[in-house]
Amino acid sequence: MAGTTTAGADGAAKRQAARPATMAQALNRAMRDAMTEDPDVHVMGEDVGALGGVFRVTDGLTEEFGEQRCTDTPLAEAGILGAAVGMAMYGLRPVVEMQFDAFAYPSFEQLASHVAKMRNRTRGRLPMPITIRVPYGGGIGGVEHHSDSSEAYYMATPGLHVVTPATVGDAYGLLRAAIASDDPVVFMEPKRLYWGKAEWNPDAPEQVPGIGEAVVRRRGTSATLITYGPSVPVCMEAAEAAREDGLDLEVVDLRSLVPFDEATVVESVRRTGRAVVVHESQGFAGPGGEIAARVGERCFHYLEAPVLRVAGFDIPYPPPMLEKHHLPGVDRVLDAVARLQWESDWVEGGR
C-alpha cells in the first residue's frame, strides 16, 4: 500500500524534520494530504468545519479546502452516513466523522444494511469507499454515552473493515490507507491517545504496514499480549513491569480487527505458548471472544495455559469518577499474566 503514506503536495521548502506530534495532528494531516491528492475525498460530519471537530481533528480543513470539501452537516447521523452512501455511489470518497462512539448508533441501519452490503449485493458495481471515523473508548472523563467501545458491533458485520491505530505513525498511515481503500472502513480512534505525542515527520511520514497487518510492538518469549488501540500503551507498560518478575512479554498490536491478521497472532502464540487478550470493551461477547476462540483453536497444541482475557467489565461504561475501576490497567494485565499457569497452579474462577 505504497501510495498511502506519501507526504502530500508540499514543496521542499516547507519540509521539516521529525518533531513531537500528537495523534490528532497526524490524523488531521492524513486527511489534509488525502484531500490534496484526491479531489474526490470529502470530509463531513457535525462541527467538522469552523470548529475543527470537538477533538480538533479536522482543524483547518474547511479553511483550506472550502465548505464543500469539509462540510458541517445537519445533526443527524443516519442522514450523514446515508448521504455518504449516495456520494460514494457517485464516485466520491466520503470521510465521515461521528462525534462520539455512542452517537454513531443512529446510523446503524445505514451501516449494517447498506454500507456493509452494497458491494456484495451489486456484485462489485457499487463499492463503498467510505471512511467512518469513530472516536472511541474511555479514560477522558466523559459523561455517559461519551466513552463506549463499540468495535464488537462492527466486527460482527461482514463487509466492513475495522481499523484502529495506537501510535502517531499508524494514525497517519492507517487513515491514509482507509481513505484509499475501496471498501468501507470503520476507523476507530482511541480518544485518550489523541493527545499522546511522538516524534513524527509530517513531511516524510514513516511507512507503516497496511490494513490487515498486525505488528509485534515488543518481542518477547514468555507470553503474548494481544491488544489494540487504547490498550496498547497499557500492555507495553505491563510488559516493562513484568520484566521485574523475570517475564519477557511479547505485545501484538492488532491494528486491524477486520481483516484479522491471524498469521501474526498465531505465530506469536505458538512461539510463546501463552496468551492474554487485552481490551477496554466489555469482555462478554467483546472482540476478545473471537480472538481467544481463534487462538484457542489454532494454537491448541502449543498452549501451556488457557487463553485469558482482560477487558472492561460487562457493564455500561461508568461515570467519570469511577472509570478507573473499569478500565483494564497494568495491574489487571499482570494479574492475568500471573495466572498463566507458570507452575501448573491453575486457579478456577478468575477472569
Partner 1 sequence: MPDSRTPADTPAEKNEEVLTMTVLEQPGAYRLSPPPAWRPRADPAPLLPDAEPYRLLGTEADLEKTPGRDTLLRLHRELVRGRRYNEQATALTRQGRLAVYPSSTGQEACEVAAALALEEQDWLFPSYRDTLAAVARGLDPVEVLTLLRGDWHHGWDPKAARVAPLSTPLATQLPHAVGLAHAARLKGDDVVALAMVGDGGTSEGDFHEALNFAAVWNAPVVFLVQNNGFAISVPLAKQTAAPTLAHKGVGYGMPGRLVDGNDAVAVHSVLGEAVERARSGGGPTLVEAVTYRMEAHTNADDATRYRTAGEVDTWRDHDPVLLLERELRRRGVLDDATAEDVAKGAEEMAAGIRERMNADPELRPMDLFAEVYAEKTAQLREQAAQLQAELDAEAEGNV
Ligand X SMILES: Cc1ncc(C[n+]2csc(CCOP(=O)(O)OP(=O)(O)O)c2C)c(N)n1
When asked if residue 335 is in the footprint of its own copies (CB under 8 A), the reply is no
Catalytic residue among 114, 146, 161, 279: 146
Task: Tell me the C-alpha to C-alpha distance, in Å, between residue 204 and each of 8, 207, 322.
Answer: 9, 9, 41
Cell 469552523 sits on residue: 50
Catalytic, 42? Answer: no
Q: How far apart are CA 269 and CA 63, in angstroms?
A: 48
Phi, psi for 291 (deg, rounded to 5): -65, -50
Q: Check residue 214 for interaction with its own copies (CB under 8 A).
A: no
Given candidates 113, 122, 207, 221, which one binds its own copies under the rule CB under 8 A? Answer: 113
Contact 280, 232 (CB under 8 A): no
**Closest distance of CB 87 from partner 1, Å:** 4
Is residue 108 near partner 1 by the rule CB under 8 A?
A: no
- Cβ closest to ligand X, residue 103 vs residue 313: 103
Strand, coil or helix: 166: coil
- Nearest CB to ligand X, comparing residues 113 and 122: 113
Residue among 216 and 284 whose Cβ is closer to its own copies: 284
* 102 touches its own copies (CB under 8 A): yes
| Distances, alpha carbon 325 to alpha carbons 67, 90, 190, 329, in Å | 43, 47, 19, 9
Q: Which is nearer to ligand X, 166 or 186 (CB)?
A: 186
Judged by CB under 8 A, the residue of 178, 242, 307, 327 near its own copies is: 307
Q: Whose Cβ is closer to its own copies: residue 249's or residue 258's?
A: 258
- Selected range binding its own copies among 103-111, 193-201, 212-220, 247-255, rule: CB under 8 A: 103-111
> Does residue 47 touch partner 1 according to CB under 8 A?
yes
Rounded to an integer, what distance in angstroms lies between the CA atom of residue 49 and that of residue 242?
45
Give whole-number Cα distances, 191 to 24, 30, 198, in Å.
9, 17, 16
- Going from the C-alpha of 242 to that of each of 59, 120, 228, 253, 331, the distances in angstroms are 40, 46, 19, 18, 10
Type and span of the H or E element at 27: helix 23-37
Shortest reach from residue 153's CB to its own copies, in Å? 6
Coil, strand or helix: which one is 296?
A: helix
Bridge partners, 20 (sequence order): 199
Which residues are identified as catalytic? 146
Using CB under 8 A, list all residues that contact its own copies: 78, 102, 105-106, 108-109, 112-113, 116-117, 120-121, 144-145, 152-153, 155-156, 158-159, 258, 260, 281-282, 284-294, 296-298, 300-301, 303, 305-309, 314-316, 346
